[in-house]
């Protein structure tokens, strides 16, 4: 039987948000999705979709009517959102933050997520903060070159990280939204293994059964390419985080398994489930 107490999902068209909608439908949770582009959002008929912008307090109030829990992504300019949640009777916000907050060196990605965490805490609405490492799905940026040339071009080929499957982030979020015991918890989320970009290319090669060459591009070249798609402060933050990881690689956590009862997916499992994108 479906739970009619609505959960509002923001960012529902993203890698994590889509999985949250899918998994919450699987447990019979009533869902409302808020999107700026309603015409481009397609979900099952029993997912309510409302138009609105997180930076618009009037639209937010409309979207929050009858909502008791919220899955929130960071949106620049939406500083009023947590306080509006309190005014509208929201009981719990699960916020997709970032492990960049925990970096040894201050960086823009960490600062902006820490700012939102502070605003949520100051609202006195119960919260759960999810702080994932890099998403495994980031590797999809290599898909075209792998399909057409059989290569991966990336900087920091030897930098270790603990990337996580967006499905596992979603599974933790759904537990936090649909069960008790997660209020005021900070969950640092990683995959089950430490890998480098070179390791990832080798794993993709093994799954596809075709040669995938890794080409380690110079850092400055990578920086210029990234500046075409991202603001300078975000690019600088990514370089800072890579330097921190090179100097002090962080070990995997078992948080996904501890919270959900299921082990986190390996990178190989993620590639197997998404291999069509690389072929």
Distances (CA, A) of 76 to 81, 109, 116, 162: 11, 12, 9, 27
Low-confidence ranges of the chain (pLDDT < 70): 1-4, 247
Domains of the chain by residue range = 3-135+165-190+250-264
230-270 pLDDT per residue, tens = 889 888 888 888 877 776 778 999 999 999 999 999 999 99
Which CATH superfamily groups domain 3-135+165-190+250-264? NAD(P)-binding Rossmann-like Domain (3.40.50.720)
Distances (CA, A) of 5 to 57, 68, 91, 142, 154: 22, 7, 11, 41, 45
Predicted local confidence at residue 2, as pLDDT = 45
Predicted local confidence at residue 139, as pLDDT = 96
Neighbours of 144 (CB within 10 A): 11
Predicted local confidence at residue 3, as pLDDT = 47
* pTM score, whole prediction: 0.93
Predicted local confidence at residue 4, as pLDDT = 58
167-199 pLDDT per residue, tens = 999 999 999 999 999 999 999 999 999 999 999
């Amino acid at each position: 039987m479906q739970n009619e107490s609505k959960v509002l999902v923001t960012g529902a068209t993203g890698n994590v948000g889509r999985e949250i909608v899918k998994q919450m439908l699987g447990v019979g949770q009533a869902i409302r999705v808020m999107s700026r582009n309603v015409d481009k959002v397609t979900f099952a008929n029993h997912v309510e979709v409302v138009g609105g912008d997180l930076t618009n307090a009037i639209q937010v109030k409309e979207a929050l009517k009858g909502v008791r829990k919220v899955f929130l992504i960071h949106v620049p300019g939406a500083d009023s959102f947590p306080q509006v949640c309190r005014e509208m009777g929201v009981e719990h916000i699960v916020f997709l933050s970032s492990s960049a907050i925990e970096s040894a060196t201050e960086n823009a990605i960490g600062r902006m997520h820490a700012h939102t965490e502070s605003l949520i805490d100051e609202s006195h609405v119960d919260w759960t903060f999810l702080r994932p490492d890099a998403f495994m799905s980031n590797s999809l940026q290599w898909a075209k070159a792998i399909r057409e040339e059989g290569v991966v071009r990336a900087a920091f080929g030897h930098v270790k990280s603990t990337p996580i499957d967006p499905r596992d982030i979603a599974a933790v979020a759904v537990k936090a939204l649909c069960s008790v015991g997660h209020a005021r918890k900070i969950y640092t989320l990683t995959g089950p293994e430490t890998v480098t970009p070179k390791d990832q290319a080798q794993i993709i090669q093994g799954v596809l059964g075709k040669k995938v060459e890794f080409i380690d591009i110079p850092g400055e070249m990578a920086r210029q390419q990234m500046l075409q798609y991202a603001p300078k402060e975000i690019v600088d933050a990514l370089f800072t985080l890579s330097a921190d990881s090179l100097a002090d690689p962080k070990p995997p956590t078992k948080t996904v398994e501890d919270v959900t009862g299921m082990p986190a997916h390996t990178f190989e499992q993620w590639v197997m489930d998404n291999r069509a994108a690389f072929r």
